[in-house]
Chains A and B, each alone.
Chain A
Amino acid sequence: MSAFLTLLFRNRLAALGAVVIMAILILVLNIPLLPLHDPDVTATADRFMRPFAEGHLLGTDHLGRDLLSRLLHGTRLSLAVGIAAALIAAAIGSAIGIFAGYFGGRTDNIVMRGVDMLMAFPYILLALAIVAALGPGLMNALIAVAAVNVPFFARNIRGITVGLAGREFVDAARLAGMGHTRIVLTELLPNVLPVIVIAMSTTVGWMILETAGLSFLGLGSQPPQADLGSMLGEARSAMISHPHTSIVPGLMIFLIVVSINLLGDGVRDALDPRLRSGALSRPRATTLVKRHGDVPPTTDDLLAIQDLHTEFHVGKRNLRAVDGVSLAVKPGECLGVIGESGSGKSVTALSVMGLVASPPGVITGGAVRFQGEDLIGAPYESLRQKRGDRVAYIFQDPLSTLHPLYRVGQQLAEAIRSHDSLSKAETRARAIELLNDVRIPNAKSRVDDYPHEMSGGMRQRVGIAMALANEPDVIIADEPTTALDVTVQAQILSLLDDLRRERGLAIIFITHDFGVVAQLCDRVAVMYAGRIVEEGPTQAVLDAPAHPYTKRLIACVPELGGGRRELAAIPGLPPVLDDLPSGCAFAPRCNKAAKSCRQGEIPLQGPALRTVRCLFPERTL
């Protein structure tokens, strides 16, 4: 809660809104304590007194009633009605939304059709129609305003609920014997509540305005009772001659609506999980670079990652996700990078083209050279040109490379046309050929699909086709086949293999599957806690691992043809990156760890191209 408030008040405008609305609330809640006139007592002799008149701080209205008193009473009433309407609309709308979203199917269809019909009416017309049917009066205005806002809540909450109801924990609750009511109340409601709060905080301001509007038209509060809308309405005839009677309630409405909306936007932003971990700023186009130390010299590799350091600065914590990694590939070469989740494989890959999100990511050292040219700190334009074009990515999550609003064929065509000037028909034929290459069934009709019309595995294959369409020199593939079926995986691996033999494509292949590494990669690097702990030709590393971690990781992986058996496991978990032990990061899980392992830096050493970072390696290199 206090974290939420800090985040909320870091937004200056929200803080301002909060102060203003608090001040207004304190005033109207303390009305009984204030020395105010009776708001409804008329004194025709004193009509239209100017502000700051004796005994009437804000003057009087056309019946000589004290404006300050009417303003505070009116504000109280308007706030009460607006908030009540918001609560009612939120309660009914959310109930409808949860009901429709949870039961889905036919129920959902019928309920949401009804809601759509309500939404099709112009907003204020609907409210007028309701009041016309029920008759004027503040209560009826409240009902009307609540009713026209129900669809908004129903739509929003239904959307969220549909997402939640498909989550596995709802199935799990059913299997634990919970009934529908209990699931709705204890599983779904707590998860949608933040959304309801956000929706309410951003709409209550408008609802106050809407009730004021109805009162202004004489359909809400009835004389002599004051609310902000009716005060404005009564002042209308004297607007030119005695402007203060309109300005006073008008200004109050303005203050209330603006401050509530500012606060509401602040609440929405503060509850947004994306902002929780980072600053309130927009992410930069490329990763922030703050290099310390010297930039390593040029090599003759196609792509060389040299002593790369990438950190995440989250609050006071400083995660060293990549801690001095060096890797290189030549044309036609395939390098495998293997390691557990969180070992820094993806961050290494993303750092190459400055794709690590900043904030919180910062590149703090090293270089990445493409054909000798340092990409780190390169201007955005030159990076953007090379992204996709010279160095292409295949991500584990294909949605990050596909635009949701364009057909996959269009997206492929764009990539193809940036290289070859082909006719429209030829481009399309090439797009279909690419889809066929990545084994999309029925490519001819699939080429006109939108990304969301494909299954996850198919989108993944389109992502691969996109990377290939660019005809890049280097492909960085981050677990591209983990989610695919073995038969499709085999096809794609052999496609990549052909490309590197025929076209000299260089591949950096991130995976945790030793079988894939063994079949595709010439060399392999093993990562642990942001560092490379072993590197060498694939065959040598797999046959005779030198680092204890590599050896035990290989033993963990079941191999086809091994029969039924107990599997070797590595006890414990990888270390937390902001609290790395000194010395060897694997020491807490290593059965060979000695005292010397926990002291000082352990270098990556060995003959050329076959290195290990261990004091007591499994074998001498």
Chain B
Amino acid sequence: MPALKIEHLAKTYPRKRPLFGAAPPGVRAVRPMSFQVETGETLGVVGESGCGKSTLARMLVGLLEPTEGTIEIEGKALGTADPSEFGKLIQYVFQDPQSSLNPRKTIRQVMEAPLKRLHGMAKPARNRRIAEIFASVKLREEFLDRYPHEFSGGQAQRIGIARALAASPRIIILDEPVSALDVSVQAQVLNLLADLKTRFGLTYLFITHDLAVVEAVSERIVVLYFGAVVEIGRADRIFANPRHPYTGLLAESAPVVGRSLAAPEQKGIELPDPLNPPPGCAFAGRCPRATDLCRTREPELKQMGEDQLAACHYPLEN
């Protein structure tokens, strides 16, 4: 049984209705998508800004009501968006560690909230549990009575992770958890996350725009473009052997030591406009392989090779 299974999950943001006339069609931030995450797996999610990564993540934790589709956690379907119901099963670690902590609450107050509200623990049990979690994220207990501004980014992110762990969830959504951190600290936090995963048998959904990071931590990777899944595949293979032209473009664009600088794309290419989405494949405007078929019919996600799926009419060869 997969830890997380989503089916046809989609979100359309309504647009303002003009004074006269009908409301314009909404912005399809996430188009119907389906995938699953196995227990103990880390699934990486990559894509450009605005491709729907955060919308997807917020639906998964119940902060946002999906327009259609279902979310199943360990075989149990979750109903309407209610963060306190979701909270016990799935938690979130935020991108900006400082902004995810209330500046006027001590760390102890922050840590106690999920224990009290989600699990109804009494004071002594809470203290024991907090001590346990702090030890596992390698934070000193004396930090508990301090305020967030006294912590560095790396420490604040550990506190954010500790708070997520306090809810004893099965799955943690990591939304760009290290992009606000320094490289030397980034590695500390990534290693801690890997350690916690084996220790508590967690499942991760790791969202980022850093290809090297996502490759280093994930088993499988989902590539999003313009609100849709364009490719899913094994982390160790997907960038070396992309099937979708967009994945290929990403891999070529990443700055890599020892590769000379060359813009993989021509200038003056049209990027798709969310307010006026193109018919057919959203990548067609940037794709050197595009034909009339691509511009009229949206490609579906198809099995390509053993454990790779891509949504493309003319996929790249291995």
Q: Which residues of A are at the interface with B, using a C-beta cutoff of 8 A?
A: 167-169, 171-179, 186-187, 190-191, 340-341, 436-437, 439, 441-442, 455-457, 484-491, 493-495, 497, 512-516, 518-520, 542, 552-553, 556-571, 573
- Total interface residues on B, CB under 8 Å, equals 81
Given known A-B contacts A176-B114, A494-B263, A489 and B253 have beta carbons under 8 A apart:
yes
Least distance between B170 CB and chain A CB atoms (Å): 14
Per a CB cutoff under 8 Å, which of B103, B240, B257, B260 touches A191?
Answer: B103
Report whether B191 and A566 are in contact in the complex, using a CB–CB cutoff of 8 Å.
Answer: yes
Q: Is the CB of B99 within 8 A of A167?
A: yes
Of B101, B103, B250, which is within 8 A of A486 by CB?
Answer: B250
When A519-B255, A519-B260 are in contact, do A175 and B83 touch as well, CB less than 8 Å?
A: yes
A–B Cβ pairs within 8 angstroms, 16 of them: A171-B94, A341-B153, A441-B272, A457-B50, A491-B265, A515-B254, A518-B257, A552-B184, A558-B213, A560-B254, A560-B256, A564-B216, A565-B216, A567-B186, A567-B216, A573-B154
Is there an interface contact between B255 and A178, defined as CB atoms closer than 8 Å? Answer: no
CB distance from B257 to the nearest CB of A (A): 4
Say which residue of B219, B249, B268 sits within 8 Å of A564 (CB atoms): B219
Residues of B within 8 A of A190 (CB): 102, 104-105
Task: Kindly state the separation between the CA atoms of A559 and B160 in the bound complex, as whole angstroms.
Answer: 26
Q: Which residues of A contact B194 (CB under 8 A)?
A: 566
Bound CA span A519–B256, Å:
7
Contacts of B141 in A (CB 8 A): none
Given contacts A176-B118, A176-B167, contact A560 B87 (CB under 8 A): no
B27 at the interface (CB under 8 A from A): no
- Contact check, A560 vs B212: say whether CB atoms are below 8 A apart: yes
Q: Which residue from chain A places its CB closest to the CB of B86 in the assembled complex?
A: A175
B218/A564 in contact, CB under 8 A:
yes
Once the chains are docked, how many angstroms separate the CA of A535 from the CA of B273? 44
User: Once the chains are docked, how many angstroms separate the CA of A562 from the CA of B211?
Assistant: 11
- B253 touching A436 by the CB < 8 A rule? no
B104–A191 contact, CB under 8 A? Answer: yes
| Closest chain B CB from A118 CB (angstroms) | 24
Query: Is the CB of B244 closer than 8 A to any CB of chain A?
Result: no
B209→A486 contact, CB < 8 A: yes
Which residues of chain B (37-65) have a CB below 8 Å from chain A? 48-50, 58, 61-63
CA distance A437 to B102 in the complex (A): 41
Whole-angstrom distance between the Cβ of B197 and the nearest chain A Cβ: 12
A410 to B43, CA, bound (A): 45
Q: How far is the CA of A187 from the CA of B118 in the complex (A)?
A: 17
Q: Which residues of A contact B190 (CB under 8 A)?
A: 567
- B234-276 interface code vs A (CB 8 A; 1 in, 0 out): 0110011000000001111111111111111101101111000
Contact between chains at A172 and B167 (CB < 8 Å): no
- Given A178-B113, A567-B187: A561 and B253 interface contact (C-beta under 8 Å): no
What's the nearest-Cβ distance from chain A to residue B166, in Å? 8
Compute how far the CA of A169 lies from the CA of B152 in the bound complex, rounded to whole angstroms: 17
CA distance A566 to B263 in the complex (A): 31
Q: A169-B101, A340-B183 are in contact. List 8 more A-B contacts (CB 8 A).
A: A167-B100, A173-B113, A175-B167, A486-B253, A489-B255, A497-B261, A518-B257, A562-B212
Query: Which residues from chain B contact A191 at a C-beta distance below 8 Å?
Result: 102-104
Q: What 1/0 mask marks residues of chain B from 64 to 89 whose CB sits below 8 Å from any chain A CB? A: 00000000000000000001101100
- The answer to whether B187 and A175 touch across the interface, beta carbons within 8 angstroms, is no
Residues of B within 8 A of A556 (CB): 183-184, 186-187
Q: In the complex the two chains form, is A172's CB within 8 Å of B100's CB? A: yes
CB-based contact A490/B263 at 8 Å: yes
CB pair A542–B257 under 8 Å, yes or no, is: yes
Residue of A nearest to B275 (CB): A442
Residue picked from A177, A178, A557, A571, most chain B C-beta under 10 Å: A177
Q: Write the residues of chain B forming the contact surface with A, with a CB cutoff of 8 angstroms.
A: 48-50, 58, 61-63, 83-84, 86-87, 91-92, 94-96, 99-105, 110, 113-114, 117-118, 152-154, 160, 163, 166-167, 182-188, 190-191, 194, 209, 211-213, 215-219, 235-236, 239-240, 249-265, 267-268, 270-273
Contact (A436, B267) CB under 8 Å given A176-B114, A518-B257, A518-B258: yes
Q: Which residue of B lies closest to A491 (CB)?
A: B263
Q: How far is the CB of B223 from chain A (nearest CB, A)?
A: 12
- The answer to whether A341 touches B182 (Cβ under 8 A) is yes
Q: Nearest Cβ in chain B — how far from A29, in angstroms? A: 32
A contact residues around B100 at 8 Å (CB): 167-169, 171-172
How close is A139's CB to chain B, nearest CB, in angstroms? 36
Tell whether, in the assembled complex, residue B191 and residue A567 are in contact, meaning their CB atoms are under 8 Å apart: yes
A-B pairs with the 10 shortest C-beta distances?
A515-B255, A177-B117, A441-B271, A569-B187, A494-B263, A490-B253, A168-B100, A176-B113, A485-B48, A519-B261
Expressed in whole angstroms, the minimum distance between the Cβ of A61 and any Cβ of chain B is 51
Complex Cα distance, B185 from A464, in Å, reads 29
Name the A residues within 8 Å of B259 (CB-CB). Answer: 518-519
Q: Is the CB of A172 within 8 A of B94?
A: yes
What is the CA–CA distance of A520 and B250 in the complex, to the nearest angstrom? Answer: 18
B105 CB to closest chain A CB, in angstroms?
Answer: 8
Which chain B residues border A485 with CB–CB below 8 Å?
48-49, 209
* A172 contact from B163, B185, B235, B251, Cβ within 8 A: B163
Closest to A456 in B: B49
A593, chain B: closest CB distance, angstroms: 16
Indicate whether A560 sits within 8 Å of B251 (C-beta atoms), given known contacts A177-B83, A437-B267, A494-B261: yes
Q: With A176-B118, A491-B265 as given contacts, are A561 and B240 in contact (CB-CB < 8 Å)?
A: yes
Bound-state CA distance A436–B154 (Å) is: 37
Contacts of A559 in B (CB 8 A): 212, 256-257
Chain B residues in 8 Å Cβ range of A341: 153, 182
Closest-CB distance, A475 to chain B (whole angstroms): 16
C-alpha gap A19/B254 in the complex (Å) = 64
Chain B: CB-nearest residue to A167: B99
Chain B residues whose CB sits within 8 angstroms of the CB of A177 once the complex forms: 83-84, 87, 113-114, 117-118, 167
State whether B273 touches A486 (Cβ < 8 A). Answer: no
Q: How close is A578's CB to chain B, nearest CB, in angstroms?
A: 16
Contacts of A560 in B (CB 8 A): 211-212, 215, 239, 251, 254, 256
Identity of the chain B residue whose Cβ is nearest the Cβ of A437 in the assembled complex: B267
Contact partner of B212 (CB less than 8 A), chosen from A490, A518, A552, A558, is A558
Let me know if A563 and B215 touch, CB within 8 A.
yes
In the complex the two chains form, is B261's CB within 8 Å of A561's CB? Answer: no
CA distance A331 to B19 in the complex (A): 57
Q: Would you call B96 and A487 a contact (CB within 8 A)? A: no
CB atoms of A173 and B84 under 8 A apart:
no
Which chain A residues border B105 with CB–CB below 8 Å?
186-187, 190
Q: Which of B163, B249, B256 contacts A176 (CB 8 A)?
A: B163
CA distance A493 to B236 in the complex (A): 27
Assembled-state Cα–Cα distance A557/B181 (Å):
12
- Please determine whether B99 and A168 come into contact, CB atoms closer than 8 angstroms: yes
Q: How far is the CB of B30 from chain A (nearest CB, A)?
A: 17
Residue of A169, A494, A519, A564 touching B236 (CB-CB under 8 A)? A564
Which residues of chain B have C-beta atoms less than 8 A from A487's C-beta? 48, 249-250, 253, 264-265
Q: How many whole Å from A147's CB to the nearest CB in chain B?
A: 31
Name the A residues within 8 Å of B117 (CB-CB). 176-178
Q: Which residues of A contact B48 (CB under 8 A)?
A: 485-488
Q: Check if B254 sits within 8 Å of A171, measured CB to CB.
A: no
Inter-chain contacts of B163 with A (CB < 8 A): 172, 176
Evaluate contact between A455 and B49: CB separation under 8 angstroms. Answer: yes
**Complex CA–CA separation, A180 to B13 (angstroms):** 23
Complex contacts, A497 vs chain B, CB 8 Å: 261
